[in-house]
Amino acid sequence: MTKKVFLKKWILANITGFLIGYLLYTPIAHGLTGNHGRELNTNQIIAHCVALAVVASILFLFQKSVLKDYISISRIRIILATLAFVLLFWFGYYQTVIPGELDYDILFAYLALGSGLWIGILSFSTNKVKWLIAVLSFPFASFIGEVILFVVYSSFDLNMDLQNSTTNHVVFWITVGITTGLLGGWLSGLVLYKMLPKPSK
């Protein structure tokens, strides 16, 4: 598979996975237990855990469809990567160590979405820069997606309240997801292609 073909497949897989996952995310996370403020009750946390797991599982299956020609990815790895995504999301959501108003839940969780299927398989010691770019590309792209939304909502003087507007919630996650699939997929794909073992012909 040439670099151009790999990039095309990798980007398309990530965009499609994010789109399908996040079309399901809001109906599961908010549709079952309603809108919420910063504090979530037990049922809302459970609903969000299920919704997050659905997003990650779908995305990882699409990613696997591209990576399977290069590396072996077991079902248990997909399960563990999904669990890591959920745990990192809540760690970022509730952490109080790092100051600031950034969405640390997304930034931390997207580390798992971008690298969960290959981290520990592809060597860090011989590919330090490429490895770091691949790991950080999804959090970086998600941040760009949020910036795009902030600019658009600010330009039109719109209320960006996510928790009490189903429409805003859907638009936010799909925008962040597609931006990450496109930009994050492109950035990570560039370096992953160089790190992945080439299949024998």
Residue 200 lies in a domain: no
**For 111-164, how does the pLDDT look when each residue is reduced to its tens digit (9 = 90+)?**
999 999 999 999 898 889 999 999 999 999 999 999 999 999 888 887 777 676
Task: List beta partners, residue 122.
Answer: 119
- CA 162 from chain centre, in angstroms, equals 18
Residue 201 has pLDDT above 70, yes or no: no
Residue 26 lies in a domain: yes
DSSP H or E stretch at residue 161: none
Quick one: pLDDT at residue 200? Answer: 61
196, 10 contact by CB (below 8 A):
no
**For 57-105, how does the pLDDT look when each residue is reduced to its tens digit (9 = 90+)?**
999 999 999 999 999 999 999 999 999 999 999 999 999 899 888 899 9
Residue 178: pLDDT band (50, 70, 90) is very high
Q: How many CB atoms lie within 10 A of CB 160?
A: 14
pTM: 0.93
**For 7-50, how does the pLDDT look when each residue is reduced to its tens digit (9 = 90+)?**
999 999 999 999 999 999 999 998 888 777 778 899 999 999 99
Look at the block and give the residue holding tokens 């108003």.
101
Quick one: pLDDT at residue 1? Answer: 82
Domain of residue 70, residue span: 3-195
Structurally, how many domains does the chain consist of? Answer: 1
Residue 156 lies in a domain: yes
Residue 201 lies in a domain: no
